[in-house]
Amino acid sequence: MKLTILGCNAATPRNNAQTTAQLLEINGQLVLIDCGEGTQLQLRKFGIKFARIQHIFISHLHGDHFYGLIGLISTFRLLGRTADLHVYGPKGIKEIITLQLKLAKSWTDYALYFHELDSDQSCLVLDHEKFTVETLPLDHRVYTNGYLFCEKAGKRKINTTAVADYGVEVADMENLKQGKDIQLAHGDWVKNSVLTFDPEPPKSYAFCSDTAYKPDLAELLKGVNCLYHEATFLEIHQDLAVKTKHSTASEAAQIAANAEVKQLILGHFSSRYPDRNEFLVQAKQYFQDVHLAEDGKGFQIS
């Protein structure tokens, strides 16, 4: 599982600081998380193949999180896309996008599916053969969800020494990977656990975009491998965080500590702060393994 930050600035894009967008590679699949203005330029800049994106998840309908979506959808059409595209987001996103396509007479040549969300409870929104996605209800000025991405367990790993010792045939390898016991040529059965190793433990990534401090969120995040949590403000502007329903770096770190996550990434920084190192300083009062998002930065989630 690998995360690439395409943009992490709050409100407006700046030079070398684009608005929110992330690309997550999970079990060989690429998903786009939020799509701020200029996202398609960032995809090009970092060499991402557009055609590999099959699912787009939008957290909420504030411009710095989805104004790049119509442009990306249109570019897919111009590039001759034929594969289906699935967009997940708050109720209303279908109306916004289809109105623009209608008035521009630019209907897509590929199937465009909208999965509109309005539940205030966590729910499963995608059950892919390789991963699942659940919503994380947040507390912002408009209806907002984060998303929890979880790998499905992979196939078992072949113990090459053991299969050679037992004379297992090549034709049986796929059954072994699927956890099945094997009958040898002379009729004896061998337990799968003798011939294989456990697969890598499934990994998880949680994306929590714009939200006020929400302590009960920690229960939905228990033990995730990596948490991205917005940290728009420093403690000096706690009053602004409350007023605008955003979080401080300290509050994001408290969520990470209470959820016992393995790693925390902070992002969605206000442009009012020239030195972002203070976000690390304040967050590390509560949680140690913390990193700052940065355009183009990659994180290997383990």
State the number of CA atoms in the 13 A half-sphere of 31 facing the CB: 26
How far is 272 from 34, CA to CA, in rounded Å? 23
Query: What domain count does the chain have?
Result: 2
Q: Name the residue with tokens 């799509």.
A: 35
pLDDT of residue 68: 98
Residues 6+ away with beta carbon under 8 Å from 21? 6, 7, 32, 33, 34, 35, 36, 39, 42, 68
Same domain assignment for residues 128 and 180: no
DSSP string over 172-219: GHHHHHTT--EE-TTS-EE-HHHHEEPPPPP-EEEEE-S----GGGGG
pLDDT of residue 185: 87
Residue type, position 106, single letter: S
What are the b/e assignments for 262-276, b being 16+ CB within 10 Å?
A: bbbbbbbbbeeeeeb
First to last CA, the chain: 7
Is there a contact between 45 and 75 (Cβ–Cβ < 8 Å)?
A: no
Residues 6+ away with beta carbon under 8 Å from 15? none
State the number of CA atoms in the 13 A half-sphere of 116 facing the CB: 9
Same domain assignment for residues 161 and 265: no
Phi, psi of 146, deg, nearest 5? -90, 180
pLDDT of residue 300: 97
Is there a contact between 126 and 108 (Cβ–Cβ < 8 Å)?
A: no
DSSP 10: S
pLDDT of residue 17: 85
Q: Which of 197, 227, 253 represents a domain boundary (last residue)?
A: 197
Same domain assignment for residues 50 and 171: no
pLDDT of residue 14: 86
Active site residues: 64
Residues, the chain, total?
302
How far is 225 from 36, CA to CA, in rounded Å? 25
Q: Which two tokens stand for residue 57?
A: 């998840």
Whole-model pTM?
0.93
pLDDT of residue 289: 98
Same domain assignment for residues 166 and 59: no
Mean pLDDT by 10 residues, the chain (302 residues): 97 90 96 97 96 98 98 97 98 98 96 98 97 98 98 92 92 93 91 93 97 98 98 98 98 98 98 95 98 97 94
Residues 6+ away with beta carbon under 8 Å from 108? 73, 76, 77, 81, 85, 101
Same domain assignment for residues 23 and 166: no
Q: Which of 169, 197, 225 represents a domain boundary (last residue)?
A: 197
Same domain assignment for residues 104 and 216: yes
Q: Which of 166, 197, 228 represents a domain boundary (last residue)?
A: 197
Same domain assignment for residues 185 and 83: no
Same domain assignment for residues 124 and 229: yes
Same domain assignment for residues 150 and 187: no
Same domain assignment for residues 193 and 277: no
Which CATH number covers residue 99? 3.60.15.10
Is there a contact between 225 and 262 (Cβ–Cβ < 8 Å)?
A: yes
Is there a contact between 43 and 33 (Cβ–Cβ < 8 Å)?
A: no
Same domain assignment for residues 63 and 141: yes
Same domain assignment for residues 161 and 67: no
- Cα distances (Å, whole numbers) of residue 291 to 52, 246, 267, 269, 298: 27, 19, 9, 13, 11
What domain range is 8 assigned to? 2-154+200-300
pLDDT of residue 15: 81
